[in-house]
Chains A and B, each alone.
Chain A
Amino acid sequence: MAVTVKTFSSASEAAGALSSDRSARYLGGGTLVMRALNEGDVSISTVVRAQDQALTRIDASGPRITLGAGVTFARVLAERDLGFLHAPARSIGGPAVRNMGTVGGNLFAPNPYGDFTVALLALDASVAVAGGFGSRDIPIEEFLQSRDRQAGTLVLSVSCTRPASTEAFRYRKIARIKPKGGSVITLAAHLPISGGRIAGARVALGSMAPTQIRARAAERALEGRSLDAATIAAAASAATEGTSPADNALGSAWYRREIVGVHLRRLLSGQD
């Protein structure tokens, strides 16, 4: 079925078109929207695009980095200053998907996808969105909780603070097929150390709930402590608290609950 394609030169015009049409979807890299069209999703009657250079901008020079929503994973991988995001970017798709898929689109990718967003959630990113009434920044956690109601808004960019050290940010994706495969579970942890103790722990999980979530009980077990064996064991045993994984072809909910603590322990203790 043919759809109407509306192409705008600015993101704000595209945002206006999105907010005024409930059947409109924004086309980024195509890996979600074109897939839906190929499957015959009749709820989409209008596709909105923006050819706005601001959407493909990378600002990675300072302590706070900003990625335009249209930045592809291949471009993240080509940027030396974004080394802390290379592991999550590399864990997505094959080369063609990384040449097409975007940072902004990943925020909307359902399970077993959305791995980059797990990393951004652990890094406490903020999401800049434009709606019919101008643009604003939303903490990524709040954005994900209201993701299903974000249909009329356009994501412009995501920003986060660079981790203080390579040790402070860790990422791990468990897949059945290597090097490419959907996520059984995905984990990311940001562990800033202040005076030998963890200050501001954030642990994020993918495929453990309908959207990416924080493992708050594990964070509480880490906060204010040094990263020793006892702390790691306490965090690992709290990993399932608050999760609600589902069964899918890659793994059962039971299996996900069984392995999440094991992989959190390995992530925190620096094992491969």
Chain B
Amino acid sequence: MSKIPLQFRHNGRDVAIFVDGGTNLLVALRELIGDMTPKFGCGQGGCGTCSVLVDGELHLSCLTLAETVAGRSIETLDGMKQGPNLHPLQRAFADNFAAQCGYCTPGMLMAAKALLDRNPAPSRDEVIEAISGNICRCTGYEPIINAILAAAGGRISA
């Protein structure tokens, strides 16, 4: 079966790859581009750890057929840091103990970024809604919610 050529923007950089038919975006990012920040969790849309932004919209990369992002802009956690500095959300996650095992963290950060990009001052309920598709088995969510609120409030330390 022939490979399909695919071009899109990955964290502001144009990439061109060849994918097999049916390849999902998560596999394309991890195995063909080498961006290991989106994680494979459930493969069913239940956990959210593969979350990326497609043209600024939160999508699940494991349920996205890779070739449907041709010509579109993909943002992953790998593109979040600002030069040598952490993004304010990353800083707030570190300061508020929002990461334990770290497996949900890439998806949580992308869900949080999708929220703050369109709503810079969310309420607590809006934060809870924004990360409702992302499962964390360590923290009990409270440190994550507090971190996102802290980043939104410009307070890097809680």
Q: Interface of A with B (CB < 8 Å)?
A: 1-5, 7, 27, 29-31, 34-35, 37-39, 47, 49, 74, 93-97, 99-100, 179-180
Contact = CB atoms under 8 A, between A and B. Distances in A.
Contact of B63 (A5, A34, A94): A34
Contacts of B22: 1-3, 5, 37, 47
Contacts, number: 90
Contacts of A74: 57
Contact of A97 (B4, B60, B130): B60
Given A96-B111, A99-B57, 5 more contacts: A30-B68, A38-B44, A47-B22, A95-B58, A96-B58
Interface of B: 1, 4, 20-24, 43-45, 48, 51, 57-60, 62-65, 67-68, 111, 114-115, 128-134
Q: Which 8 A-B pairs have the closest CB atoms?
A: A94-B133, A38-B43, A3-B22, A2-B20, A180-B132, A34-B63, A30-B63, A94-B132
A1 B27 CA distance: 13
A95 B62 contact: no
A199 to B, nearest CB: 37
Nearest to A177: B132
B133 A30 contact: no
A166 to B, nearest CB: 22
B108 to A, nearest CB: 11
A35 B63 contact: yes
A237 to B, nearest CB: 35
A93 B45 contact: yes
Nearest to A101: B45
Contacts of B128: 179
7 contacts: A1-B22, A2-B22, A30-B63, A38-B24, A95-B132, A96-B59, A179-B128
Nearest to B115: A95
A47 B65 CA distance: 10
B24 A4 contact: no
Contacts of B129: 95, 179
A137 B40 CA distance: 40
A39 B43 contact: yes
A34 B62 contact: yes
Contact of A95 (B63, B65, B114): B114
A179 B141 CA distance: 13
Given A95-B111, A96-B58, A96-B60, A5 B132 contact: no
A97 B114 CA distance: 13
Nearest to B64: A30
Contacts of A7: 67
Contacts of B44: 35, 38-39
A182 B95 CA distance: 33
A31 B45 contact: yes
B43 A5 contact: no
A267 B115 CA distance: 32
Nearest to B58: A96
Contact of B130 (A5, A49, A93, A95): A95
B65 A4 contact: no
A3 B48 contact: no
A2 B21 contact: yes
A39 to B, nearest CB: 7
Given A35-B45, A93-B45, A180-B132, A99 B24 contact: no
Contacts of A2: 1, 20-23
A47 B115 CA distance: 32
B65 A99 contact: no
Contacts of B24: 34, 37-38
Contacts of A27: 65
B20 to A, nearest CB: 4
Contacts of A49: 65, 68
